[in-house]
Chain A
Amino acid sequence: MSAARPAFSSALAHALKDALIAGIVAFGLFILLLGFLTDDQRGPLRLLSRPVLLASAVGIVFAGRFIVSVIYHYAAALRYWLALIWSMVCGAAIKFKWPLLAIMLIFAVIRIYYAPQTWPLTAVAVATVFIAVRFGLSAAFLMLAVLFPVAFYDNPYFLGIAIIALTYIMLGWGLNIVVGLAGLLDLGYVAFYAVGAYSYAIIAQTYGWSFWVCLPLAGLFAAFFGILLGFPVLRLRGDYLAIVTLAFGEIVRIVLLNWVTFTNGPNGIGSIPRASFFGIPFTAGDDGFAARFGLEFDPTHRTVFLFYVILALALLTNWVTIRLRKLPVGRAWEALREDEIAVRSLGINPTNTKLTAFAIGAMFGGFAGAFFATRQGFISPDSFTFPESALILAIVVLGGMGSQLGVAIAAIVVTASFELFREFEQFRLVIFGFGMVVIMVWRPRGLVSTRDPTAYLKERKTISVEHVAEGRG
């Protein structure tokens, strides 16, 4: 702090220079692709020029780089003040924890008084905050998840987003076993998702078995595919494994696209049997869910049911992962990520160990796929492209590899931001891609980058990230 900072004018000159260079580069980058539009609406290809677009794009880069340079110049000071303010806020929040909670409670009571119809939402919000203060973030998350349909029963749109978010949480947790724990880089995870979805759709349609029979079968099929793929490729290291899994994912997609007799090709499979409440369908008829339980028919019943199904599946994934980490097989996964040669020197079969990680990860991917199929009622190869794999991997890496809570937060952030940017439909993938770059530059090890030991003699100490390896494949 006390170190002499260059004068403001010199900082400004520096930033201006940076911005100028960036502007020139941006001009070079954009002149053809943004400055002109190839148009083939009428007849042969012709060019339209777009000088205004070009100028504004270059202008944005120039201004953006200028602002970033200035901020960067004062980064140390800025960080200092932000940290100070943050610690003061946190300190105050902890010190006046109970008064603050009391004030919140009063506000909640007032809100319920004036807007009685929204009481579930208010109550859930208050309960979540209390749980977070008393039992920590994970417990609050769990509680919020369980009570979510209560709070948002009137809002099918929110419920729908929550179901998508939970699907990604489950996929993220499934892939986390492979990438985060075992350190095997899998770029084709979506293949197992696809295998799960298609095997569910085909089994359910052909044999008419119920969701609860088809779901485990879909998981088993996906696990079987995991072993089938894993057996030959798991001796490959790091990047090679990544590319091979990517290739495998593409092969699965191309086969789904072209094996028309079996998968109906690009048209996909429609009218997949919907999940029923243990045999009772969610229909308006006399034998429907609503009629049987003496309720008025409401399509939200099905949504709420689906919500709890995916929540249960996700929690199952979480529970199994947490248990496995404390078992020899889970410790062997993490050891493998740290040092494969040492693992071999201790008499652990590396191939089998990797294979179990691959198969279990694939199985949860398959479960998620089956759920996806029954929720959508329609699947086609378009849902299982490489960007989907990249998205799931991004969730795992952004969350912090190996951290269950981090992966859950990342999945929620990614799904929510996708929804927020829905209005900018065309821009959102560009923004998403840049987001991946920025977060990697900002936190290469993800949001939660500590590791919890799986056993302890005296006390459980979290392990900081600098010691933890990330695997070579």
Chain B
Amino acid sequence: MEYFLQQSINGIALGSIYGLVAIGYTMVYGIIGMINFAHGDIFMVGTFIALIAFLILVAIGVTAIPLALFLVLLIAMLLTSLYGWAVERIAYRPLRGSFRLAPLISAIGMSIVLQNYVQLAQGARVKTLQPLVSGVHTLFDLGNRLVVQISNIQILIILTTLALMSGFTWLISATSLGRDMRACEQDLKMATLLGVDTDRTISLTFLIGAALASVAGMMYLLYYGVIDFHIGFVAGVKAFTAAVLGGIGSLPGAMLGGLLIGLIETYWSAYFSVQYKDVAAFSILIVVLIFMPTGILGKPEVEKV
């Protein structure tokens, strides 16, 4: 039981990271109906930016961990969102209204570019960062080495995710940008006719998605301390699975899907086999799409005849 609880806590922390990445997929899919294939790699770029920003801060003498983390968060969000914007501007905007496959192919192209660019710039070797946030709290202690613990970094991840999610929900539901985004999601053409600057709204969507992915990237870096140029692909597919599981286009769905995928993956590794944990995530994706293509919180789709 305590093992199960412990794994649940680990799963929720992991799931928060997936959820943050999943929001980027779900928003873009909701608005322009395409899978932003490069989003997983944006997440990967976010981890690298966070790593380098942290090392720079240490080098210039910012050693107070909370301050450093806050600054890293800001820098990572700023610079990663610039990547999100640039990818949209270069690879997707010229293809808007074009054939459906074209943006998908150029997204795959962008994904290849980002991976190999980071490999070129920072080398193929795995980067390791010593743990910055240490300390654990014991939740239950049943003696005999049966303890359930939550670490500070897990608390940090869960709290940051909660804060970002509430901020983001507010953005979508209460600001004029959020209204524009919802309008674009409903009907892009009509929104254009009614004077919504759709290019700007779509750009901002990519920007926000990338910013959230960079936060996820920073959390990933702090949680695992090991990154390389390749992590974006699998993380991206899992986050996309999360978005689909929750119901693509739905923001709470993306978060819920992220948590579920995180939990399932953690349980699977804990109880079955670590080697096949990715198979678990992929199989869930297939099963969900076949039996529940609209996801948990998605709107059912009636086929128009």
Contacts and interface: CB of A to CB of B under 8 A. Distances in A.
A and B touch in the complex (CB under 8 A): yes
Interface of A: 25, 28-29, 31-34, 36-38, 40, 44-47, 185, 232-233, 235-236, 238-240, 242-244, 246-248, 250-251, 254-255, 257-258, 341, 386-387, 390, 393-394, 397, 401, 426-427, 429-430, 432-437, 440-441, 444-445, 470, 472
A288 to B, nearest CB: 42
B82 A251 contact: no
B237 A239 contact: no
Given A28-B82, A242-B35, A433-B113, A232 B290 contact: yes
B129 A45 contact: yes
B36 to A, nearest CB: 11
B279 A251 contact: yes
A123 B141 CA distance: 86
A244 B101 contact: no
Nearest to A428: B116
Interface residues of B, number: 72
Interface string B184-220: 0000000000000000000000000000000000000
B94 interface: yes
Most buried by A among B94, B121, B237: B121
A194 to B, nearest CB: 15
A44 B54 CA distance: 14
A33 B121 contact: yes
Contacts of A243: 35, 237, 240, 244, 285, 289
Contact of B109 (A232, A255, A436, A470): A436
A34 B83 CA distance: 14
Interface of B: 29, 33-35, 45, 48-49, 51-53, 55-56, 59, 75, 78-79, 82-83, 85-86, 90-91, 94-95, 98-106, 108-123, 125, 127-130, 233, 237, 240-241, 244, 275-276, 278-279, 282-283, 285-286, 289-290, 293, 303, 305
A248 B282 CA distance: 7
A162 to B, nearest CB: 25
Contacts of B114: 433
A43 B99 CA distance: 51
Given A232-B290, A244-B289, A40 B35 contact: no
Contact of A440 (B29, B83, B106, B285): B106
Contacts of B78: 28
Nearest to A397: B105
A40 B79 contact: no
A457 to B, nearest CB: 30
A29 B83 contact: yes
B104 A34 contact: no
Query: Most chain-B Cβ atoms within 10 A of its Cβ — which of A32, A33, A397?
Result: A32
B51 A440 contact: no
A260 to B, nearest CB: 10
20 contacts: A31-B79, A32-B56, A33-B117, A40-B128, A45-B127, A233-B290, A235-B290, A239-B29, A239-B34, A240-B244, A251-B282, A254-B278, A258-B276, A386-B233, A394-B105, A432-B109, A434-B109, A434-B113, A435-B109, A437-B106
A387 B111 CA distance: 10
Contact of A36 (B56, B95, B98): B56
Contacts of A393: 105, 108
Contacts of A240: 244, 289, 293
A200 B237 CA distance: 30
A436 B101 contact: no
Given A38-B122, A47-B52, A470-B101, 4 more contacts: A236-B293, A390-B112, A433-B114, A440-B105
